[in-house]
């Protein structure tokens, strides 16, 4: 393909070298004449193992060159990658100055181009940037319509410094955010020879994926550091602890807990988070991430409460009271907390949970139910149909399969609040998910 890369910094230079090595014709564009001169001399503008050799080979083969002429580069290519910097402002927001400038220049060049051109944002940008900034600027400068007269896509990079070429050649995945199918097809063709899954999503989802990955990596580093600090203060080698933790691929390093939804609960997680936070404090060890977990968990319960109370309806049905399906354990169940909040605000609440109903009569949790939450347990109904029929808002609280069937069968006269993830689609008129 004939490709233009705008921005010859870390991402742009690596992509230029790797794409030219794979036989594509690449034009690098940058405002810095120094960078352009280095590229045209086959030299790397950044320090990255193996990149200088790729750039030198690309220039010698005639497949790579640099220029400051935006219009000429756009007219000579079919695909433009935007890889300019998006640095932080003082308030933490992104500075899109470079992005805005490039979009205006690309748009001006497209005004006189008859051949279809596809613009791909490779830079890391927040969700909504392409829709609210990139597309309007290009459309205004070109007089053309995105998705019709020119293509638009995002293609977030997952390159680590010092291993960028290997990361490019052997990615874990390739994410394509497409405005139109033709743009997605073009990028899929470009990456077809890479041995990795190609994931095609909407532009906004792709933008969010990149940030989620980076913040998750930051969270992992911070978590490991805090565990290490607490362990050291307790006379334990944190490296030994985390080495064993990382050997568990069933739960610790897996997708099991990585699903947006309601708060955690049960007899273990809340108690152990509080205990470790307390121990860190008693050892004079700062653990801001770990110490914030219970506060974040409480905020998720409050969010569910706010969703329900935003409706002008007073009859509420709660399907599920235990913290997860298949158990009668109510200890620190966030659903109990949610029920208490609704009761406190005077809502007419009905609850169905067959496991808890059994426990109230026969189970080991009978004493807990009678002594700790009698005001909540008194609202338990024996029949699911009774709760459904007499409620205007139904909260899907845990993952019992019957609750999914209820959600699919009830009419539009009832508002559903899904805390589990049964909904196949994001929030709609009478179906609202807590995180979707």
The CA–CA distances, whole Å, from 77 to 110, 129, 204 equal 11, 24, 26
Domains in the chain, start-ordered, CATH in brackets?
2-201 (3.40.50.720), 204-247 (no CATH), 297-433 (3.40.50.720)
Residues that are catalytic: 268
Q: How does residue 273 score in pLDDT terms, banded at 50, 70 and 90?
A: very high
| Per-residue pLDDT at 183 | 98
pLDDT digits (tens, 9 = 90+) for 293-339: 999 999 999 999 999 999 999 999 999 999 999 988 888 999 999 99
- Model pTM score: 0.91
| Per-residue pLDDT at 328 | 85
250 is in an annotated binding site: no
| Per-residue pLDDT at 361 | 64
265 is in an annotated binding site: yes
| Per-residue pLDDT at 373 | 87
| Distance (Å, whole) CA 408 – CA 430 | 12
Mean pLDDT of 183-188: 98
| Per-residue pLDDT at 377 | 86
180 is in an annotated binding site: no
Q: Report which secondary-structure segment, H or E, holds 330.
A: none
- What HEC string does 332-388 produce? CCHHHHHHHHHHHCCCEEEEECHHHHHHHHCCCCHHHHHHHCHHHHCCECCCHHHHH
Q: How does residue 110 score in pLDDT terms, banded at 50, 70 and 90?
A: very high
Mean pLDDT of 206-212: 97
174 is in an annotated binding site: no
Q: How does residue 372 score in pLDDT terms, banded at 50, 70 and 90?
A: confident
210 is in an annotated binding site: yes
The residues, any chain, with a CB within 8 Å of residue 312's CB and separated by 6 or more, are none
Tell whether the model's pLDDT for residue 366 goes beyond 80.
Answer: no
Q: Are 119 and 151 in contact (CB under 8 A)?
A: yes
> Minimal CA–CA distance to 27: which of 58, 66, 1?
66
């Amino acid at each position: 393909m004939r490709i233009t890369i705008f921005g010859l910094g870390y991402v742009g230079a690596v992509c230029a070298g790797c794409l030219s090595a794979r036989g594509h014709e690449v034009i690098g564009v940058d405002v810095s004449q120094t960078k352009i001169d280095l590229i045209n001399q086959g030299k790397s503008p950044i320090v990255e193992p193996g990149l200088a050799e790729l750039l030198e080979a690309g220039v010698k083969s005639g497949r790579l060159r640099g220029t400051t002429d935006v219009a000429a580069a756009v007219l000579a290519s079919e695909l433009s990658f935007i890889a300019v910097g998006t640095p932080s402002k003082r308030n933490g927001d992104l500075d899109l100055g470079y992005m805005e400038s490039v979009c205006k220049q690309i748009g001006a060049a497209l005004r006189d181009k008859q051949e279809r051109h596809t613009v791909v944002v490779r830079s890391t940008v927040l969700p909504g940037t392409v829709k609210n900034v990139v597309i309007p600027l290009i459309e205004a400068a070109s007089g053309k319509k995105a998705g019709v007269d020119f293509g638009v896509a995002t293609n977030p990079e997952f390159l680590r410094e010092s291993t960028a070429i290997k990361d490019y050649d052997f990615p874990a995945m390739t994410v394509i955010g497409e405005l139109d199918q033709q743009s997605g097809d073009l990028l899929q063709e470009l990456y077809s020879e890479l041995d990795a899954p190609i994931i095609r999503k909407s532009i906004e989802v792709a933008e969010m994926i990149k940030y989620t990955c980076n913040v998750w990596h930051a969270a992992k580093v911070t978590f490991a550091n805090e565990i290490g600090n607490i362990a050291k203060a307790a006379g334990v080698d944190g490296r030994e602890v985390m080495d064993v933790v990382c050997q568990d691929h069933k739960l610790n390093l897996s997708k099991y807990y990585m699903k947006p939804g309601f708060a955690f609960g049960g007899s273990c997680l809340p108690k152990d988070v509080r205990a470790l936070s307390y121990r860190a404090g008693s050892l004079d060890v700062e653990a801001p991430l770990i110490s914030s977990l219970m506060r974040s968990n409480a905020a998720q319960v409050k969010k569910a409460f706010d969703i329900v109370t935003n409706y002008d309806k007073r009859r509420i049905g709660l399907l599920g009271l235990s913290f997860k399906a298949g158990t009668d354990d109510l200890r620190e169940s966030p659903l109990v907390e949610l029920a208490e909040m609704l009761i406190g605000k005077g809502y007419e609440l009905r609850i169905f949970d067959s496991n808890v109903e059994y426990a109230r009569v026969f189970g080991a949790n009978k004493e807990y139910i009678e002594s700790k939450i009698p005001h909540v347990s008194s609202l338990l109904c024996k029949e699911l149909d009774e709760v459904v029929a007499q409620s205007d808002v139904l909260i899907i609280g845990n993952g019992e399969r019957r609750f999914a069937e209820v959600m699919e069968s009830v009419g539009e006269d009832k508002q559903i609040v899904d805390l589990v993830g049964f909904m196949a689609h994001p929030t709609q008129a009478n179906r609202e998910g807590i995180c979707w």
